[in-house]
C-alpha cells in the first residue's frame, strides 16, 4: 500500500469563508474514495489544489514522486471534425487497435466511434473522455460530479469501469447510489475539517448521526454532573468540616469538559404545496408526435397518467425525455395526435430553462412575492424562503448574483408558495446538495397531487417514482415494471453487449428478472428443516444479545476511535441479525405451509 497524496495541516479561505482549517487526509493506492460535503464546502476547490491549479494558504500537499493523475475534464477537448477514435489516438498516443478496444468497453462502436465526436450527445462525449482516461492508465482518478447529465446506461458503464479499475479514485458526487456502488471509503469535508471513514457512504451517514447523538447525550450527562458538583462546592466550601471535600469536588469539576460538537449545518426543509387529492386521469395522450420543426423525436405516444401518480420518465440521453415534458406542459406544441389535461389541473414547472430565466433584477423576496398565491402573508413567504436557506439578508440578494444551485432552490421555493396540483420537474436534483435532494424526495412522497419528472439520480428516482414511462426507439410507453426492474433490464442489456437493446429485449430482461425475484427456494418439511429452524433460532437469540451489548457500549463510550470500532462491529452484527431473521421467516413460512 503506497501513499499517493498526503494533505497536512491544510488551510484555505476565501474572504470570511474558511474552507480548510487544520485539514488532514491521506489517499493510498488501494482506495476508491467518495468525497462528500455541502454545496460551497470546498470540494471542488480541494480537487483544484490536488491538481496544482490552486494553492493552500498554509500547510502542504505531498504527492508520490511518480504519481500520475487522471482528471475527468468538464471542458470540450475535441478538435473540429475529429472522430472519437481520432481523438483517442491523438490524446493517448496509443495505436488504433488499443483505442478501439478500450472504446468498446464504453459501447463506442460504429458511427459513435468513427463519426464526428462533437455531434455526439453530452453523455456519449463523457464516454469518450472516460475511455481517454483509461488509455492513460493513471494511478489516481479525480472525478468531479461525473454522473451529472449521464443517463442510466452510461452511469452503469461508468460504475463497471470504476469497479474494475486497478488504481485509486477520489470521486465528488451528490449521487448516493453511485458512490455506494463504486467507493469503499468516504471522505467528508465540513467546517473546514476532512474526515476519512473506512466504509461506504450510507454507513458513514448513519455513523455521523449516531456519533452526534452520542456526543449530545454525553454532554448532557457531563453538564448534569457539573451542576451537581457546583452545588456541593458552593454549599460546603465555607464549612471547616467539609472544606477538604469541597476542594476535592472542585478538582473533579475542573477535570470535566464538554465534547466539542460542530453545530449542525442548516438543512433545507421542504413542504410540497398542500392540495386536495383527486381521482381519475390527469392527462391522456393518443398517437401523439413530439419534436421540433423538421424533426420528429418520438411518435405513436399513447399514455394515460392518473391523478396522484408520481411518474418517472426514463430513457437514454437524446431519446426525448425533456422534449416529452416540454410538450406536456405546452412549451412545445405537439406535432400530431391528441393531448388533453383534465379540468382543474394547475401545472407547475421546474426546469433549467425556467430557473435560468428568473428576472435578474428581482430580489429573492420580490420574486417569491410575485409567485405566491393571493392572500399569502409576508411571514409565510419568509418562512418558505428560510426553509430553502434564504434567511436574513439573503432574501435581499438580487437574482443576478445567485449561483446555479441558489436559483434552483429559489425556483423550488416559488413552486412551494403556489397551489399547483401537477408538478412537472426536469432534473430537480441538479445543482442541489445531498441533503436538499433528500428533503425534496421526502416532500414529494407526501404530495397529494401528480408528479411527472426526470432524474439521473437513482436514489431519488427509486424513492419518488410510483410508475415509470420509458422513452425509447422513437416512442414513449408505460414500462411494465418498477424502477428497480428497469435498472435490472438495462444492466442485463449491457452485460449481454446489446448497446441499443430493443423493447423486445428489454421486456425479456424484465421478465427474467421477475422470474428470478419470485423464484425463491423452498425447504423440506422433514427432520433436516426442523433442525435448521432450531439452529437459526439460537443464532437469532445470540446475535440479538450481541447487538444489545454493543449498543450499550456505544452509548457510554467517549473515545472517538473506540466508538468507530464499536460502530463497525454493531453494523456487522445488525446485518447478520437481519439475514438470520429473514432466514428464520422463510423457514417458518415453509414449515407452516
Q: Which of 97-101, 345-349, 374-378 has the lowest mean pLDDT?
A: 374-378
Per-residue confidence (pLDDT) for residue 534, from 0 to 100: 67
Residue 204 scores a pLDDT above 60 = yes
Per-residue confidence (pLDDT) for residue 474, from 0 to 100: 93
Rg over CA atoms, the chain: 28
- Average pLDDT, integer, range 427-432: 78
Per-residue confidence (pLDDT) for residue 169, from 0 to 100: 94
Q: Is the dihedral of CA 430, 434, 436, 439 positive or negative?
A: positive
pLDDT band per the 50, 70, 90 thresholds, residue 268: low
Q: Which of 68-72, 169-173, 385-389 has the lowest mean pLDDT?
A: 385-389
Q: How far apart are CA 114 and CA 126, in angstroms?
A: 16
- Average pLDDT, integer, range 448-461: 92
Q: Could you identify the residue written with the cell 415509470?
A: 468
Q: Could you identify the residue written with the cell 448574483?
A: 401
Question: Is the Cβ–Cβ distance between 313 and 324 less than 8 Å?
Answer: yes
Per-residue confidence (pLDDT) for residue 12, from 0 to 100: 93
Per-residue confidence (pLDDT) for residue 511, from 0 to 100: 38
- The 10s digit of each residue's pLDDT in 131-155 is 898 888 899 999 988 887 788 888 8
Per-residue confidence (pLDDT) for residue 513, from 0 to 100: 33
- Average pLDDT, integer, range 312-332: 91
From the number of C-beta atoms within 10 Å of its C-beta (0-12, 13-18, 19+), residue 202 rates as middle
CB atoms within 10 A of CB 221: 12
Q: Which of 152-161, 254-263, 305-314, 520-529 has the lowest mean pLDDT?
A: 520-529
Per-residue confidence (pLDDT) for residue 145, from 0 to 100: 84
Q: Could you identify the residue written with the cell 405546452?
A: 330
Per-residue confidence (pLDDT) for residue 15, from 0 to 100: 78
364: left (phi over 0), alpha (psi -120 to 50) or beta: alpha
26: three-class secondary structure by DSSP: strand
Question: First CA to last CA across the chain, in angstroms?
Answer: 53
**353-377 burial string, b = 16+ CB within 10 Å, else e?**
ebbeebeeebbbbebbeebbeeeee
pLDDT band per the 50, 70, 90 thresholds, residue 492: confident
From the number of C-beta atoms within 10 Å of its C-beta (0-12, 13-18, 19+), residue 227 rates as exposed
- Average pLDDT, integer, range 239-252: 86
Q: Could you identify the residue written with the cell 452511469?
A: 155
Question: Is the Cβ–Cβ distance between 310 and 464 less than 8 Å?
Answer: yes
Instruction: Tell me how far CA of residue 57 lies from CA of 14, 28, 83, 108, 579, in angstroms.
Output: 10, 24, 43, 43, 50
Per-residue confidence (pLDDT) for residue 266, from 0 to 100: 58
Per-residue confidence (pLDDT) for residue 23, from 0 to 100: 93
Q: What percent of the chain has pLDDT over 70?
A: 89
Q: Which of 206-220, 232-246, 515-529 has the lowest mean pLDDT?
A: 515-529
Which residues 6+ apart lie within 8 Å of 579 measured at CB?
none
Q: How far apart are CA 387 and CA 418, in angstroms?
A: 15
- The 10s digit of each residue's pLDDT in 548-562 is 787 777 777 777 678
Higher-scoring residue by pLDDT: 568, 36: 36
Per-residue confidence (pLDDT) for residue 591, from 0 to 100: 53
Highest mean predicted confidence (pLDDT) among 95-99, 567-571, 589-593: 95-99
Per-residue confidence (pLDDT) for residue 528, from 0 to 100: 57
From the number of C-beta atoms within 10 Å of its C-beta (0-12, 13-18, 19+), residue 272 rates as buried
Higher-scoring residue by pLDDT: 350, 431: 350
Q: What is the DSSP letter of 173?
A: -
Give φ, ψ of 41 to 5 degrees.
-70, -25
Question: Is the Cβ–Cβ distance between 22 and 6 less than 8 Å?
Answer: no
Query: DSSP characters for 91-120?
Result: HH---HHHHHHHHHHTT--HHHHHSBGGGS
9's grid cell: 495541516
pLDDT band per the 50, 70, 90 thresholds, residue 494: confident
- Average pLDDT, integer, range 171-200: 91
Q: How far apart are CA 315 and CA 472, in angstroms?
A: 6
Q: How far apart are CA 293 and CA 289, in angstroms?
A: 12
Q: Which of 114-128, 170-184, 262-276 has the lowest mean pLDDT?
A: 262-276
The number of residues in the chain equals 593
Per-residue confidence (pLDDT) for residue 517, from 0 to 100: 35
Which residues 6+ apart lie within 8 Å of 163 measured at CB?
181, 182
| pTM score of the predicted model | 0.68
Per-residue confidence (pLDDT) for residue 265, from 0 to 100: 54
- Average pLDDT, integer, range 60-66: 93
Residue 3 scores a pLDDT above 90 = yes
Which residues 6+ apart lie within 8 Å of 46 measured at CB?
12, 19, 20, 35, 189
Residue 499 scores a pLDDT above 50 = no
Q: How far apart are CA 173 and CA 34, in angstroms?
A: 7
Angle at Cα 122 formed by Cα 117 and Cα 126, nearest 5°?
75
Task: Round the average pLDDT of the chain to a whole number and report it.
Answer: 84
Question: Is the Cβ–Cβ distance between 142 and 170 less than 8 Å?
Answer: yes
Question: Is the Cβ–Cβ distance between 293 and 271 less than 8 Å?
Answer: no
- Average pLDDT, integer, range 482-502: 75
- Average pLDDT, integer, range 411-439: 84
Q: How far apart are CA 34 and CA 172, in angstroms?
A: 6
Residue 510 scores a pLDDT above 50 = no
From the number of C-beta atoms within 10 Å of its C-beta (0-12, 13-18, 19+), residue 212 rates as middle
Amino acid at each position: 500500500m503506497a501513499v499517493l497524496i498526503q494533505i497536512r495541516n491544510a488551510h484555505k479561505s476565501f474572504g470570511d469563508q474558511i474552507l480548510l482549517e487544520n485539514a488532514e487526509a491521506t489517499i493510498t493506492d488501494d482506495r476508491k474514495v467518495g468525497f462528500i460535503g455541502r454545496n460551497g464546502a470546498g470540494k471542488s476547490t480541494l480537487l483544484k489544489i490536488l491538481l496544482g491549479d490552486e494553492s493552500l494558504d498554509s500547510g502542504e500537499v505531498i504527492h508520490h514522486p511518480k504519481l500520475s493523475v487522471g482528471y475527468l475534464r468538464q471542458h470540450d477537448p475535441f478538435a473540429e471534425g475529429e472522430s472519437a477514435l481520432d481523438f483517442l489516438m491523438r490524446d493517448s498516443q496509443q495505436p488504433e487497435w488499443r483505442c478501439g478496444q478500450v472504446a468498446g468497453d464504453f459501447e463506442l462502436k460504429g458511427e459513435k466511434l468513427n463519426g464526428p465526436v462533437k455531434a455526439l450527445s453530452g453523455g456519449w462525449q463523457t464516454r469518450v473522455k472516460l475511455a481517454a482516461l483509461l488509455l492513460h492508465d493513471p494511478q489516481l482518478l479525480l472525478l468531479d460530479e461525473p454522473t451529472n447529465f449521464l443517463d442510466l446506461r452510461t452511469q452503469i458503464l461508468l460504475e463497471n469501469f470504476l469497479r474494475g479499475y486497478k488504481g485509486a479514485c477520489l470521486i465528488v458526487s451528490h449521487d448516493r447510489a453511485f458512490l455506494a456502488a463504486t467507493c469503499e471509503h468516504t471522505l467528508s469535508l465540513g467546517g473546514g475539517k476532512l474526515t476519512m471513514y473506512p466504509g461506504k457512504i450510507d454507513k458513514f451517514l448513519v455513523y455521523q448521526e449516531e456519533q452526534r447523538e452520542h456526543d449530545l447525550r454525553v454532554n448532557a450527562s457531563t453538564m448534569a454532573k457539573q451542576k451537581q458538583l457546583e452545588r456541593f462546592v458552593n454549599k460546603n466550601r465555607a464549612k471547616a468540616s467539609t472544606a477538604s471535600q469541597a476542594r476535592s469536588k472542585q478538582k473533579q469539576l475542573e477535570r470535566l469538559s464538554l465534547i466539542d460538537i460542530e453545530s449542525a449545518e442548516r438543512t433545507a426543509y421542504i413542504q410540497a404545496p398542500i392540495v386536495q387529492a383527486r381521482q381519475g386521469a390527469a392527462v391522456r395522450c393518443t398517437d401523439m408526435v413530439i419534436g421540433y420543426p423538421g424533426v420528429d423525436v418520438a411518435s405513436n405516444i399513447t399514455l394515460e397518467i392518473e391523478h396522484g401518480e408520481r411518474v418517472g420518465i426514463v430513457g437514454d440521453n437524446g431519446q426525448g425525455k425533456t422534449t416529452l415534458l416540454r410538450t406536456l406542459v405546452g412549451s412545445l406544441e405537439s406535432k400530431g395526435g391528441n393531448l388533453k389535461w383534465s379540468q382543474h389541473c394547475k401545472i407547475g414547472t421546474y426546469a433549467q430553462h425556467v430557473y435560468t430565466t428568473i428576472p435578474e433584477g428581482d430580489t429573492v423576496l420580490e420574486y417569491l412575492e410575485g409567485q405566491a398565491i393571493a392572500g399569502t402573508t409576508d411571514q409565510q413567504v419568509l418562512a418558505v424562503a428560510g426553509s430553502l436557506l434564504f434567511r436574513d439578508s439573503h432574501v435581499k440578494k438580487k437574482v443576478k448574483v445567485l449561483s446555479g444551485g441558489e436559483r434552483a432552490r429559489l425556483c423550488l421555493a416559488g413552486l412551494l408558495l403556489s397551489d399547483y396540483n401537477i408538478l412537472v420537474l426536469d432534473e430537480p436534483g441538479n445543482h442541489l446538495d445531498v441533503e436538499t435532494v433528500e428533503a425534496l424526495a421526502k416532500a414529494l412522497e407526501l404530495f397529494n397531487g401528480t408528479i411527472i419528472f426526470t432524474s439521473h439520480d437513482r436514489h431519488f428516482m427509486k424513492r419518488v417514482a410510483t410508475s415509470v414511462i420509458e422513452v425509447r426507439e422513437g416512442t414513449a410507453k408505460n414500462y411494465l415494471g418498477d424502477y428497480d426492474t428497469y435498472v435490472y433490464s438495462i444492466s442485463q442489456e449491457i452485460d449481454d453487449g446489446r448497446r441499443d437493446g430493443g423493447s423486445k429485449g428489454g421486456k425479456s430482461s424484465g421478465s427474467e428478472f421477475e422470474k428470478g425475484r419470485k423464484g425463491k427456494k423452498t425447504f423440506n418439511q422433514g427432520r433436516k428443516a426442523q433442525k435448521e429452524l432450531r439452529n437459526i433460532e439460537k443464532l437469532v437469540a445470540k446475535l440479538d444479545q450481541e447487538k444489545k451489548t454493543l449498543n450499550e457500549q456505544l452509548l457510554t463510550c467517549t473515545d472517538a476511535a473506540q466508538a468507530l470500532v464499536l460502530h463497525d462491529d454493531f453494523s456487522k452484527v445488525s446485518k447478520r441479525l437481519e439475514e438470520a431473521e429473514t432466514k428464520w421467516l422463510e423457514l417458518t413460512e415453509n414449515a407452516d405451509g
